[in-house]
Amino acid sequence: MEYHRMHTSAPVSIPVRRRSAWRIALVALLILVLLAVLAVAGISFYVGWQLTHPERKPVAETPRDYGMDYKEVEFFSREDAVPLKGWFVPSSGSGKGLTVVIAHGYRNNRTQENVPGLAVARELSRAGYDLFLFDFRGHGESGGTFTSVGQHEQKDLHGAIDWVRKQGRPGQPVALLGFSMGASTSLMVAAADPEVAGVVADSPFSNLYEYLQENLSVWSDLPDFHFTPTILAIMPPLLDVDPASVDPLTAVNRIYPRPILFIHSVEDGSIPYTESERMWRQHPDRFQFWKADAGDHVKVYETYPREYIERVTAFFDNLADR
């Protein structure tokens, strides 16, 4: 009997050098991915920190530069007692029996130079309104170390209203005029304070978290992809803030039926006019919306100064007559 030897194929082995090369490439790739993640996180943290700790603009002008008498005021925010500074400006015309508290925007101070706010204040003072202008925390000459873009700033605006009611014009109704962040903050404070007679909201956002999801790159100068979600993820727990709670859209329903005048430029490249439109549509029977062709952010007064003052004073006149 003849036997045949069975032959089996030997296993194919990858050379040691090739396996080592693959291993090195994989490790290198993992290191690159880790470095990229760390870079995104580091840049996001740095930019997020800069955005929440803006450089303070000096208060370079006073109401006297615009022909108004005023009183220097120091007061405290409600609840957490952050020291704040402001001006009380008595009306220079026949008193209308209404105090207007003016709230400035992000990266600005009580002068709101990019409007310019003191020019608006001068016209309102001449129209017969007492005014109160102040610096939010982390801005101008006020205390505080950072901005939450509306969350903790509500305590500052409540503190300003408290001062006006106790030491400014006790018993006199209060209305609010806000620009940008100050407009959104004013809407939330009015919702919480039923004694606020009405609000003029110039260029507000409707919900901070939703706004930042779509527009954070406008302020960060970084691509949305990766950076926006990373900043929104790491900054709130580090600063104990909640952008989703900064929600003027919900607030306007609590203001109703008190009136609101929304003012917004259709060309606004920082906060789209649709943010105001979204809130106005909640109650168009009581809310007004002036949608103007007026250049960039908070530029409606600069573009149409006479019409701006006419519309705003007409709104406040109606409150004073109630």
> DSSP for 189-234?
HHHH-TTEEEEEEES--S-HHHHHHHHHHHHH-S-HHHHHHHHHHH
Domain boundaries, position 177? 54-207+246-320
Predicted TM-score of the model (pTM):
0.88
pLDDT for residue 212: 92
- Strand 130-134 and strand 196-202: the pairing is unpaired
CATH number of the structural domain spanning residue 61: 3.40.50.1820
203-244 pLDDT, tens digit per residue, is: 999 999 999 999 888 877 777 767 788 888 888 887 888 999
> DSSP for 19-52?
HHHHHHHHHHHHHHHHHHHHHHHHHHHHHHHHHH
8-state DSSP, 297: T
In the chain, how many domains are there? 1
98 near 165, Cβ under 8 Å? no
3-class SS shares of the chain: helix, strand, coil, % to 5: 45, 15, 40
Assigned domain for 58 exists: yes
277-290 pLDDT, tens digit per residue, is: 999 999 999 999 99
pLDDT for residue 1: 45
